[in-house]
């Protein structure tokens, strides 16, 4: 989804990559074992992908922006299956993944309805016993400032469990940390 110049610079920076590697993903994935087949929806510039690759046997990336998908294919193409596609309409078979993950990208999905379709698609492509996990930022003035001119539809964490259950997940956990929330939703 579209990002403004400042946001693109931030997400492509070494500082952001270090924050992802050293702070955000360790918190978001605390106590989580992804399993061998993982799908990452919305990897953007690949900072989260670099952290995920050593944790899984097979990683599939789905990126909605064609130029980002091409960049990801150039960097990770020999280690990950990179697809240019919309996370709310995944061109993937039912039940193919042990886990589905998305990090700091849900707010770029253009509407709550499209977010709900993404949740349903995540559930559809999971094997029984699999889970959907991720994190996103809480909406505040600084967050909104960085996103001026972007597609920015924050997910209120207090609504997320209900929405994930409506998408077919059986058990969900949502927790709020400093400036972000994380979630895990299970498919039985």
The C-alpha angle with vertex 32 and arms to 77 and 92, in degrees rounded to 5, equals 40
How many structural domains comprise the chain? Answer: 1
Residue 46: phi, psi to the nearest 5? 95, 5
Q: Report the percent of the chain where pLDDT is more than 90.
A: 86
CA 114 to CA 89: how far, in whole Å? 9
DSSP 110: S
Domain hosting 16: range is 5-187
The domain that contains 47 carries what CATH number?
3.40.50.150
- The pLDDT tens digits of the residues spanning 55-90 come to 999 999 999 999 999 999 999 999 999 999 999 999
Q: Are strands 97-103 and 180-186 parallel, antiparallel or unpaired?
A: unpaired
Say what the pLDDT of residue 2 is: 66
Instruction: Band the pLDDT of 5: cuts 50, 70, 90.
Output: confident
Q: What whole-number distance in Å separates Cα of residue 44 and Cα of residue 72? A: 8
Q: What is the CA radius of gyration of the chain?
A: 15
Residues 6+ apart with CB under 8 A from 178: none
Residue 1 confidence (pLDDT): 47
Is it the case that residue 149 has pLDDT exceeding 90? no
Q: Does residue 41 contact residue 68 with C-beta atoms inside 8 Å?
A: no
Structure-token match 């259950």, residue found: 165
Which of 103, 129, 114 minimizes the C-alpha distance to 163? 114
């Amino acid at each position: 989804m579209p990002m403004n110049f400042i946001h693109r610079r931030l997400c492509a920076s070494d500082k952001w990559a270090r924050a992802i590697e050293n702070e955000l993903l360790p918190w978001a994935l605390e106590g989580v074992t992804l399993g061998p087949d993982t799908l990452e929806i919305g990897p953007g510039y690949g900072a989260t992908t670099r952290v995920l690759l050593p944790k899984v046997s097979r990683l599939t990336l789905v990126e909605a922006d064609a130029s980002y998908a091409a960049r990801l294919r150039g960097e990770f193409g020999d280690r990950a299956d990179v697809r240019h596609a919309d996370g709310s309409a995944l061109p993937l078979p039912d039940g193919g993944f042990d886990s589905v993950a998305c990090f700091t990208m849900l707010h770029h999905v253009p509407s709550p309805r499209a977010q709900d379709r993404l949740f349903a698609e995540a559930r559809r492509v999971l094997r029984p016993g699999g889970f959907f996990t991720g994190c996103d930022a809480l909406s505040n003035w600084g967050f909104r400032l960085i996103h001026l001119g972007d597609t920015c539809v924050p997910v209120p964490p207090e609504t997320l469990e209900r929405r994930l259950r409506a998408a077919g997940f059986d058990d969900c956990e949502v927790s709020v940390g400093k400036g972000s929330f994380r979630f895990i939703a299970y498919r039985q």
